[in-house]
Each structure stands twice: as C-alpha cells, then as structure tokens.
A and B are shown apart, each in its own frame.
Chain A
Amino acid sequence: MAINWFKYSSPSSFYPLAGKIIPVFMTLAILLIMGGLYWGFFETPDVLSDQKQYYKIIYVHVASAWMAMWLYVVMVAWAVLGLIFNTRMSYMMASATAVTGAIMTALSLWTGAFWGQTSWGTWWDWDPRMTTQLILLFLYIGYIALQSAIEETRRSDRASAVLALVGLAIVPVIYYSINCPDPNECASLHQESSLKRVEPNILIAMLVVTAGFWMYCFAVILMRVRNIILQRESHTNWVERLEAFR
C-alpha cells in the first residue's frame, strides 16, 4: 500500500505524528551519544600523535561541524519543497531546522576554539575550514533574521526560502574563495580529507556520536516545528480540540 505523503503535509495530521516519533528519536539520541562518548572517552588511546587527552573533544566537535553543514542542505531542501509544492509544513520544517543548524554551527566553533587553544595555542585562526563555518553561521543568522523581520507569514516563508537557495548556490564559491585566496597557487593546493587516516577505534566512536547527533537534531527540530504549528494554527478548530488545551 502506498503511503500518502501529502497527508502529513497538513499541520493537523503532522502534529500528532511528530508527537509520537519524538520520544523514539530522543531515546535513540541519548543511547547513541552516551554510548559513543563512553567509547570515545574511555576506550580509545589517551594520546593521539602529539596530542594528549584534550583531543577527545573531537567527538563533539566533528559531529557538530558535520551537522551544521548537513542541516543547511536539509533546510534548503525543505525550503525548495515549499517553493515547489506550496506546502506550509515544508516552510515550518525549514525554519525549525535553521535554528538547530545555527546552534550546531555555534557549537562547532566554540568546541573548535577550545581545541585550538589547547593544541595550537590560539582561540581563533583564519583557517579555511573555520572561516567557512563562520560564514555558514552568518548565512543561518541572515535566514533567521529575514524570517523574523517579515510579519506576514506567507511572504516571510517564501522570501527566506529564496535567500536560503541563493546561499546554497554561493556557498561553494565562498568555500573555494576562502580555501584558495591566491589562484596562482590553486593547482598545488590539495586538501585531503583525513577521515581515512583516523584510527578505526576513534572513527567508530565519532560516527556513533554523529548518528546520535542526527537523532537529537530530528527530535529537537520536530519539537520546534510542533511549537511553530501551534503558533500559526492557533486560530483553528483542531488546535482548540487538543487535549493539552482543554
């Protein structure tokens, strides 16, 4: 039997569904994050090349940095769905995702600053990856600012969706411009993802924590979207009939 996906594009049917699956995601998040962090903190070597135990912030740092990037794509995907199908739910999901994405970006910058202070002796460096992350934070903030500046819901949804889309188109350009400020040297510049060189033990813990972060983000986004639904649909009958408001 085919599932009618559009059924859940209506706030009144999505609201109870979200309420049912939030506990599932939250439980998974707690289990995965606790398990991954335990494994990472106690079962992996205390010294990694020349770094001492402080390198273990990697489990939070890398997971949040990854989430920051992926959530931007998720947000744009919802925004595009909204522009195509004109579904209110998609816009609500996009705006709920934006806040979590901004928090994840801030978290990765923050943990990165601590890690940088211990291992490089500086809180901040204009390293390409850090700069990209900072600009990602600006893009999230721009999206949230535009959305909250427009009072009319329909316009604010669609305008911020366009902004998110423009941001996604320009992000690769920004990334390369920061990564390679001198085009004469670009040919020799080769940045390799270091994932393969990481010890399997550490990698597993990192991936488990990342999976936990995904679950956490799903849960929090759904919670936030439920609030947005209530706020926007407060005039409707089905909200009035909800148990919680009796």
Chain B
Amino acid sequence: MFDSFRALVKRDLLLAMRRRSDVFTVLLFFIIVVSIFPLGISFEKAILQKIAPGVVWVAALLASTLALERIFANDYADGTLEQILLTAQPLSILVFAKIFAHWLLTGLPLVLIAPLAGLQYHLSATTIGTMMVMLLIGTPILSMIGAIGAALTLGLRGGGILISLLVLPLYIPVLVYGSGAIEASMQGDVSLQPYYLLLLAFLLLALVFAPWATAASLRISVE
C-alpha cells in the first residue's frame, strides 16, 4: 500500500518535472495577482499592510483553483485513471497520493514564494513567518477540498470555471482563519494558538474525509 503511494507520488513529480512550465504558471499567477492589487488600490504603506492578509489568501485560493483541473485531467485523458481505479489497492490512498503530489507542485511553491509578497506589502518578519506557517497548513486543505471538485467535474466542458464555482464557497473557513491569523499577528499581543489549532483541525478533518469523498466522486465520474 505504502509502496504504491510512493510510486504514484514519484511518477506525478517526474511527469511534472518533464513539463516544468505548468508548475511555474501557477506560481507566476500568484505573484501577478498579488502585485496588481497595489496598482489598483493604493501604494500607501498603512493600506497595503491592512489588505495584505486578505489579498495573499485570495490569490492563493484563486491560484489553487486554477491548478485543480490538472490533478486528474491528464490521467483521465490517457486512460491511466481507469487503470488506477482498477487496481486492488484502496483507491482513497492512491487518490491521496495524487493530491499530495499536486500539493507539492502547486501549494508548496506558494508557501515558499509568500515572503516576496510579504515584502511587497511591507509586512514585518514575524508576520511573514506567521503567513508562511498558515499557508503551509492551509494550502493542503485547499488541495484536498479542491480534489473533490476536480473529481466531480472530470472531463466536462468548461470544467475550470465550474470547479471555481463549486469549490470557492467551500474554501471560506480557510480564508477566514488564515487571513485572521496574519492580521492578529500584526497586532502583536493577541494569542495565535486558537488559529493554529482551528486550521490544524480543518486539516485533520480534510485528511480523513477528502480522499474518501474524492475516490467516490471519481468512481461516479469514470463509470
């Protein structure tokens, strides 16, 4: 079971490394969205600091939904997905492997590039630290909830927009607490522990249910 998990992760990473531009488009999208907000709103330091948490999280949400379609689309097109569905291994584990690989390729780069956005918005070092930890806990949740949407809309016309429509409302808790924590860390004297605990609770909840729901959705879509 664990071998198949590892093999699938390795395979997805290898495929992505052969087509590196896919990884960078998500990253560049995130950077561009974060960079154009000040142009539209204001260059004032106080305003930028105020909107930074929300802007960074919304950009992360949008970047993650844009990348979602790719989790299963290629495997569906070339028939690999059917082979995965037919294997004797538990499907939710294999699905989890695919989600994990997807997060390594789309979520983790966002976490690593986030300090750049923090500098653009004049955030302090501690706030940037909080932001990175929050993104580190939050982006896997986005990938996992999003995978359900990707599985449900597999192979549909205009699937990309449809995924955003289905998935963005479900992202709200992560957005609220993720940006709430960054805001709280700017005030300094507020305890951040509840934010960490809540987001970690969401992560555990998603870990338990999302792979299973995604597997069920895949079976429905590839019947």
Query: In the bound complex, what is the Cα–Cα distance between A181 and B223 (angstroms)?
Result: 41
With A135-B169, A178-B176 as given contacts, are A162 and B220 in contact (CB-CB < 8 Å)?
Answer: yes
Chain A residue contacts of B202, Cβ below 8 A:
173
Residue of B with least CB distance to A176:
B173
Instruction: Type the 1/0 row for B24-54, where 1 means its CB is closer than 8 Å to any CB of A.
Output: 0000000000000000000000000000000
On whether the beta carbons of A149 and B157 are closer than 8 Å, the reply is: yes
Query: In the bound complex, what is the Cα–Cα distance between A67 and B176 (angstroms)?
Result: 27
17 contacts between A and B (CB under 8 A): A135-B172, A141-B165, A155-B223, A162-B148, A162-B152, A162-B216, A162-B217, A165-B213, A166-B170, A170-B173, A174-B169, A176-B173, A177-B177, A178-B172, A181-B180, A182-B184, A183-B180
Chain A residue contacts of B157, Cβ below 8 A:
149
Q: Which residues of B contact A (CB under 8 A)?
A: 145, 148-149, 152-153, 156-158, 162, 165-166, 168-170, 172-173, 176-177, 180, 184, 190-191, 194-195, 198, 202, 205, 209, 213, 216-217, 220-221, 223
Query: In the bound complex, what is the Cα–Cα distance between A186 and B198 (angstroms)?
Result: 12
On whether the beta carbons of A184 and B172 are closer than 8 Å, the reply is: no
Chain A residue contacts of B152, Cβ below 8 A:
146, 159, 162-163
In the complex, which of the residues A139, A174, A182 contacts B173, with contact meaning CB atoms closer than 8 Å? A174
Q: Is A129 an interface residue (CB 8 A)?
A: no
Query: In the bound complex, what is the Cα–Cα distance between A165 and B210 (angstroms)?
Result: 12
Chain B residue contacts of A186, Cβ below 8 A:
194
Query: In the bound complex, what is the Cα–Cα distance between A166 and B145 (angstroms)?
Result: 9
On whether the beta carbons of B173 and A173 are closer than 8 Å, the reply is: yes
With A173-B202, A181-B176, A183-B198 as given contacts, are A146 and B217 in contact (CB-CB < 8 Å)?
Answer: no
Query: In the bound complex, what is the Cα–Cα distance between A183 and B205 (angstroms)?
Result: 18
On whether the beta carbons of A150 and B156 are closer than 8 Å, the reply is: yes
Query: In the bound complex, what is the Cα–Cα distance between A138 and B165 (angstroms)?
Result: 8
Closest 5 pairs between A and B when the two form their complex, measured CB to CB: A183-B194, A177-B173, A138-B169, A177-B176, A142-B166
Residue of B with least CB distance to A132:
B172
Query: In the bound complex, what is the Cα–Cα distance between A97 and B195 (angstroms)?
Result: 37
On whether the beta carbons of A146 and B216 are closer than 8 Å, the reply is: no
On whether the beta carbons of A145 and B166 are closer than 8 Å, the reply is: yes
Query: In the bound complex, what is the Cα–Cα distance between A183 and B191 (angstroms)?
Result: 10
Chain A residue contacts of B223, Cβ below 8 A:
154-155
On whether the beta carbons of A174 and B220 are closer than 8 Å, the reply is: no
Number of residues from A at the complex interface, CB < 8 A: 30
Given contacts A146-B166, A170-B170, 15 further A-B contacts (CB under 8 A): A138-B168, A138-B169, A142-B169, A146-B162, A149-B153, A149-B156, A150-B156, A165-B213, A166-B148, A166-B170, A170-B173, A178-B172, A181-B176, A182-B184, A183-B198
Nearest CB in chain B: distance from A106 CB, A: 15
Q: Is A158 an interface residue (CB 8 A)?
A: yes
Query: In the bound complex, what is the Cα–Cα distance between A21 and B162 (angstroms)?
Result: 37
Query: In the bound complex, what is the Cα–Cα distance between A141 and B157 (angstroms)?
Result: 18
Nearest CB in chain A: distance from B135 CB, A: 17
Nearest CB in chain B: distance from A159 CB, A: 5
Nearest CB in chain A: distance from B21 CB, A: 28
Chain B residue contacts of A181, Cβ below 8 A:
176-177, 180
On whether the beta carbons of B220 and A158 are closer than 8 Å, the reply is: yes
Q: Is A35 an interface residue (CB 8 A)?
A: no
Q: Is A167 an interface residue (CB 8 A)?
A: yes
Q: Is A169 an interface residue (CB 8 A)?
A: yes
Chain A residue contacts of B170, Cβ below 8 A:
166-167, 170, 174
Among B202, B216, B220, B223, find the residue whose CB has the most chain A CB atoms closer than 10 A. B220
Residue of B with least CB distance to A170:
B170
On whether the beta carbons of A159 and B220 are closer than 8 Å, the reply is: yes
Nearest CB in chain B: distance from A148 CB, A: 10
Nearest CB in chain A: distance from B159 CB, A: 8
Residue of B with least CB distance to A162:
B217
Chain B residue contacts of A149, Cβ below 8 A:
153, 156-158, 162
Residue of A with least CB distance to B205:
A173
